[in-house]
Chains A and B, each alone.
Chain A
Amino acid sequence: MTIFDTPIIYALSILFSLAFVWFVLSQVRKRKLREQYSLMWLLLGLVIVVVSVRSHWLDSLAYLLGIYYAPSLLFLIALLFVFAYLLHLTMVISKLSDRVVRLTQELAIYQQREHAAQPHEKETALHE
């Protein structure tokens, strides 16, 4: 018994994972996704392909770990992957926020200096 013992779900999951890998690669080609962030997604696509083609590997691994219901191992792996990636993303966001704050401060101080140099020239302010 495997989790993908019907031919339809077997074919669908291979099709889906290949489409997923193709989509990720095309986004990298268009420079909409950086290589460094694409690696994790490509790895995920690869794992899905392997699990689809060799679904009994998942059963064996579940048996080895003492997991009674093999698909729950799949959920566990997926969940851990999502958690790890979300943590990584919030770290990236933290770094980006720090940089945005610093850039904003430097820009505002620079603008103040310009304004002090020519105080009578009317600025074309966007937000006043």
Chain B
Amino acid sequence: MNQPKVLVIIPAYNEEGSIANVIRRIQAVAADTGLHIDTVVVNDGSKDATVRVARAAGATAVIDLPFNLGIGGAMQTGYLYAHKNQYDIALQIDADGQHNPHDIPTVIEPILRGESHFVVGSRYVEKTAYRSSAMRRIGMIFFSSLIRLVTKHTVKDPTSGFRAADRRVIRMFAEYYPVDYPEVEVLVHIARRGLTFQEVSVEMSERQAGTSSITPIKSAYYMIKVGLAVLISATR
């Protein structure tokens, strides 16, 4: 691959406070490394000025969904866009600023070397500055065990939203992507398609603005729904 086309997908729901900074930091990484990196913001029916702020910050494309599709539907829109525009690598980054764009070269490296079809930027592969809550650690252990049970792979940070996909995975995601809480489920789908994934260590910080969408009640539903989806997909 000479000069691969990389697309960073940033799904955003009411992220006017942090989105501009995320886009500018990605552009800075592109300038520093000489990589061809485009950015697409998928606005998932925000009620604030996310679209206007993202356009002003110079996102390559802003896709404005007419109403809220949820994270899975919004993320899939980005992969569909990547597939239609023939990108070699699609990266997903959270709009809240918790992922550091400086790690983009690290995350896409295994794909460029042809080692893996899919890469997860993980908080836990090596010791990083990130501190997580007890609830999050319980969920992490639950999901890691679930993935190990179904795929025989050990994933330390299965819910990380900092990920990179090659062309085959982009096409697969454009066809099917889970509606809600997709992170864990897609790892199982990838493994069952005979594609490979790996984790690399990245830095993560607390979100810069806005609020997290995960509440304690939703966490319970999250684990049950994903558990069911993973076990069913294991029988396909």
Contacts and interface: CB of A to CB of B under 8 A. Distances in A.
Contacts of A127: 45, 66-67
Contacts of B73: 101, 104-105
A128 B51 contact: yes
A86 interface: no
A39 interface: no
B52 A128 contact: yes
A113 to B, nearest CB: 9
Interface in A50-98: 97
By secondary structure, the A interface counts as: helix
Interface residues of B, number: 19
A27 interface: no
Nearest to A112: B63
A105 B77 contact: yes
A8 interface: no
Interface in A95-126: 97, 101, 104-109, 111-112, 115-116, 125-126
Interface of A: 97, 101, 104-109, 111-112, 115-116, 125-128
Interface of B: 42, 45, 51-52, 61-67, 69, 73, 76-77, 80-81, 84, 179
